[in-house]
Structure 1
Amino acid sequence: MDTSVDVTAQQGLPVISFAGGSEEALARQLDQAFSTIGFCYFRDIGVDAALVEGVFAASRRFHAMPRAAKEAIAMNRFHRGYMAPKTSVIQTSSVARVTKPNNSESFMLMHEVAPEDPRFGRPLDGPNLWPDLAGFREAVTAYEQAMHAFSLRLLKPLALALGLPRDWFAPYFGQATTFLRLLHYPPHDMTDPEAAFGSAPHTDYGFITILSQDDSGGLEVRRKDGTWLAAPPLPGTWVVNVADMLSRWTNGRWQSTPHRVTNLSGGDRYSCPYFFDMSMDSIVEVLPTCQGPDRPAQWPPVRYGDYLMERLDKNYAYRQQPETAA
């Protein structure tokens, strides 16, 4: 099996296959992609195409429901449920002064925390909300479980890429913080040059993001020189990017790259990002393999949960409202 990085001239991002080849070869590819731009495509990750089709079908059915039915499961204080359009403003963006809310709506699923779990009731540790929609929960859960299983497998080549033992990351993900977001972007208003982005320029907060997108296009990645590179849909692939905590762990060796979405397709756009992050209590400190006398640590240690909650509190309107029962 050819394990080389396939760079397609039209879109510029590496395409990395997980079929065949050694973990060491895969680790080299990951390091190359994440060190140069922080984004790539994955293919052959072992997630059945039927699961992908199922979660997109579920998302379209959900977003086609009447607004009142979606509002019945509005986002709870545990960051789960329905988020209406134009209710998030990326105030923590490091690359743009964002004043307009994102023109998108979404359903958010996170790791399930049962009432008997000692974590229950802590920030982001609570119940998911589900619409009254036949087959929705089953399709969404099946895709989430497949992505979780792949993400756990991914930890080993990531560790090898950083000169760490294969199982180094495992203790941080025994109680992983995960998000599956079913996003719907309406068409961009072409008559208004100041129309809001579907998603304004931003970086992701945690460890790694694995995105499945439809055929509409609109995702762009910022190069180091400040120009924007399209990340168009490629059949059978996921767009993958380094997030803030992984960049911080690597002392900036791997980039948490700004990206944005503008839906210029003329129709509706759907995407399903999966955010795979460490446990809320994880202390992220620059890795020993990514620092030295000539490269001191750029950041002090930080508890992931504290970093995450600061950003959620600033960026989401529902978190500024009086707290209500979940």
Structure 2
Amino acid sequence: MTETFSSVPIVDFARLNDPVTKDEELSNLREAIFIVGFLYLTNTGLESLIHHTHENLPKLFELSAEAKEKCNMINSPSFLGYTRLGAETTATKTDLREYPDCPGAQDLVEEYIAKTDSLAQAFVRLVAECLSLPRETFDGFKGNMSRLKFVKYPPAARNSQGVGPHKDSAGLFTFLSQDNTGGLQVLNKKGEWIDVPPIEGSLVVNIQQGFEAITGGICAATTHRVIAPTSQTRYSIPFFQGVRLDLTLDQLKESAAHIVQRIPASEDKKKRAVDVPSEFLSPLYSCVSDSGLRISCMGLTNRSSARLT
């Protein structure tokens, strides 16, 4: 395996499901999981849905301030809803983005969640195969708390922070659709920020810290950020695949120990720079739901809410 990465690899979902090409593409997936923690997933069958959803995003964000404030996350008992521009911070800096959960979006959201969740479940089984594990290895960790965001990054001064360096927290994988603006970057082992330019119709998939914990750190989450655009608005749609909220940390560690024994070791022990602490395995909490609530509450006191919806 290579020592580090200088670009994000492309994995073809159709080839993963074709008996003729599956073994070769599983090898590509394995390297992406071990070395990068990020990949482009192409030929998913969701291209039309992705295009249609992006067409509708500007309309949602053009709703009046009053309409958006009615569903502000601060007023929601579930910590879900709208976040205005500048209401979030990452690493003490303000994030220049906003996201809505507003009337008129329900049908679009429900279709997007249903189809992406189905894809995500199939993908996780393929990940198990590429790690030489039974396909159903990770089935028992899947929960019903997957989350979807619609995110807007307005133009800002050069090198402004769209969202600061972070790792996605408490789930398995993130499936991100981005428009053609660019700005997403991932951190490699050498401390270099690598651009993740848009590929039309693709989903950018990355490991979350929950999957890192389940695999005992063998499949690690990767630090990433978004540089705010300078000349045009950027829209993105992240889908966060969740884990069971009743999963205790003791159960997770026990399962991880069993899984780690069965995953062939990677030759690359330090594949990525690790500069963001994990909130997933806090010793202060006994189960995932406790940890998730803690993260949500902290989000209301100016911690990044990238992990809230």
User: TM range, normalised to the smaller chain?
Assistant: 0.7 to 0.9
Question: For residue 292 of structure 2, what is the amino acid of its counterpart?
Answer: L
Shift of 1:318: 7.9
Task: Give the paired residue count.
Answer: 269
Q: Structure 1 107/39 Cα, relative in aligned 2: closer, same or farther at 3 Å?
A: same
SS of structure 2 residue aligned to 1:41? strand
RMSD, aligned α-carbons: 2.5
Q: What's the counterpart of residue 19 of structure 1?
A: 14
After superposition, where does 1:146-185 map in structure 2 within 5 Å? 146-173=115-142, 175-185=143-153
Flag structure 1 segments of 5+ consecutive residues without an equivalent: 1-8, 91-97, 109-129, 320-326
Give the aligned partner of residue 212 of structure 1: 177
Maintained 8 Å contact 2:181/2:198: yes
Judge conservation of contact 1:89–1:316 (CA < 8 Å) in 2: no
TM-score of the superposed pair, with normalisation by structure 2: 0.79
Query: Which position in structure 2 is the counterpart of 1:99?
Result: 92
Equivalent positions of 1:1-326 (< 5 A) are 12-20=7-15, 21-22=18-19, 24-47=23-46, 49-75=47-73, 76-90=76-90, 98-107=91-100, 130-131=102-103, 133=104, 136-173=105-142, 175-190=143-158, 195=160, 197-205=161-169, 206-283=171-248, 284-285=252-253, 286-291=256-261, 303-317=287-301
State how far apart, in whole Å, the 2-side matches of 1:165 and 1:246 are: 16
Aligned counterparts of 1:41 and 1:302: Cα–Cα separation in 2: 34
Cα distance, 1:25 vs structure 2: 4.2
Please state whether the residue corresponding to 1:154 is helix, strand or coil: helix
Letter in 2 for 1:143: Y
Return the offset for 1:150.
0.6
- List gaps (5 residues or longer) in structure 2: 266-280, 304-309
Separation in structure 2 between the aligned mates of residue 165 and residue 145 of structure 1, nearest angstrom: 25
The alpha-carbon distance between structure 1 residues 198 and 316, as it changes in their structure 2 partners (threshold 3 A), is farther
Contact 2:154/2:229, CA 8 A, preserved across alignment: no
- Once the two structures are overlaid, the 10-residue window that deviates more, 35-44 or 136-145, is 136-145
- Return closer, same or farther for 1:269/1:183 CA change in 2, 3 Å cut-off: same
Separation in 2 of the partners of 1:162 and 1:42? 18
Classify the secondary structure of the residue corresponding to 2:149. Answer: strand
1:81 maps to a residue whose letter is G
Amino acid at match of 2:66: A
Return the alpha-carbon distance in structure 1 between the equivalents of residues 100 and 197 of structure 2.
Answer: 23
Task: Tell me the TM-score normalized by structure 1.
Answer: 0.75
8 Å contact from structure 1 (residues 209, 242) kept in 2: yes
Task: Give the match's secondary structure for 1:107.
Answer: coil
**How far apart are the structure 2 equivalents of 1:289 and 1:264?**
41
Contact 1:33 1:40 in 2 (8 A): yes
Q: Distance in 1 between matches of 2:136 and 2:29?
A: 17
Q: Distance in 1 between matches of 2:298 and 2:198?
A: 31
**Alpha carbons 1:186, 1:263 under 8 Å: kept:** yes
* Identity value in percent: 26
In structure 1, the partner of 2:273 is: none
Opposite residue 78 of structure 1, the aligned amino acid is S
Partner AA of 2:164 in structure 1: A
Q: CA deviation at 1:176?
A: 2.3
Partner deviation per Cα, 1:219-272 (whole Å, 9 max, x = no partner): 000011111000010112111100101111112211200100112341111000
What is the letter of the counterpart of residue 290 of structure 2?
A: D
CA deviation string 1:179-215 (max 9, x = no partner): 110000011223xx6x4x1111100012100000000
Judge conservation of contact 2:124–2:138 (CA < 8 Å) in 1: yes
Aligned to 2:275: none
Q: Is the 8 A contact 2:172 2:241 kept in 1?
A: yes
Contact kept? 1:58, 1:140, Cα under 8 Å: no
Distance in 2 of aligned mates of 1:28 and 1:309: 37
Show CA shifts across 1:124-160 (max 9, x none).
xxxxxx42x3xx3222221111101111111211222
